[in-house]
Amino acid sequence: MNLEKRNKIDNRILAGDGLRTYDKVKKTGKLCSAGFWARSQPNMNYIATTGHCYDSASPFYLYSLNSTTEIGEMPVYFLEPIDFGLINIDIKKFQPIPSVRNTDSERYKELFIEDVILASNNGAHLCFSGIRSHVKCGYVAALNGFTSNGEYFRDNIFIVNLRNIAGDSGGPIFNYKNFTHVSLNGIVQGGLDDFDDNINGITVVTTISSILNEIEDLEVVTTS
């Protein structure tokens, strides 16, 4: 077996992959999903996800059914006015990919992130990719919303009629341009489920525009 080739495959990180923390003392951790590959000057590389995934007691690990590999720390995170964080990544050890993981598809396992756009109207068809749910799709129910839990206030969000599962937070929200290329709209902040029928729910989305407005000089890496 070619060990160099195997390690290169294991260390690829796509949007929708799993990110996990683990507190060795408490033996607990958090599971979230990768949102996208981001860069800032001078040539700093990050994996973006939600800020509530931050864990002061643990670095982040690339999580899958086959391996758990340490990535790095989250030096930048916000809990308001947006829910967002950046994980440091060493591209000498890991290969971030500007693509969305599409695990359940037989033909299109990776969806190339071609550009970044805003969700512009109610009823728009959008999808997300997460470590727990894989790729699911729904429709925009509301634009220009906000959330508040009594502790944190977050605005510049929109709502999609789509059920997500704990662990999907941070995953990319996108729309299809064709079978293989997508546009990035934001990341999953969280949501509410209707457990009576196990299908319906709402997903709260942190918009890509609010992320780029909050963090100066941050760039989403795309294929174009």
pLDDT along the chain (224 residues), means of 10: 42 94 84 96 91 92 73 94 95 93 95 92 93 94 80 85 92 96 96 53 92 93 93
CA dist., res. 113 & res. 119, Å (int) = 15
Omega before residue 81 within 30° of 0, cis: yes
Q: What local confidence, expressed as pLDDT, does residue 145 receive?
A: 76
Q: Is 33 exposed, middle or buried (0-12, 13-18, 19+ CB in 10 A)?
A: buried
Q: Count of residues for the chain? A: 224
Paired residues of 172 in beta bridges: 187
Q: What local confidence, expressed as pLDDT, does residue 10 receive?
A: 60
Sheet-wide strand order for 76-78: 76-78, 84-88, 44-49, 36-40, 219-220
Q: What's the pTM? A: 0.88
Q: Is the C-alpha dihedral spanning 24, 29, 35, 38 positive or negative?
A: negative
Q: What local confidence, expressed as pLDDT, does residue 199 receive?
A: 52
Q: Is 77 exposed, middle or buried (0-12, 13-18, 19+ CB in 10 A)?
A: middle
Omega before residue 42 within 30° of 0, cis: yes
Q: What local confidence, expressed as pLDDT, does residue 224 receive?
A: 85
Domain architecture of the chain: domains with CATH: 3-97 (2.40.10.10), 98-214 (2.40.10.10)
Q: What local confidence, expressed as pLDDT, does residue 147 receive?
A: 79
Q: What local confidence, expressed as pLDDT, does residue 24 receive?
A: 80
Q: What local confidence, expressed as pLDDT, does residue 195 receive?
A: 42
Q: What local confidence, expressed as pLDDT, does residue 175 receive?
A: 96
Q: How far apart are the first and last CA of the chain?
A: 34
Q: What local confidence, expressed as pLDDT, does residue 2 receive?
A: 37
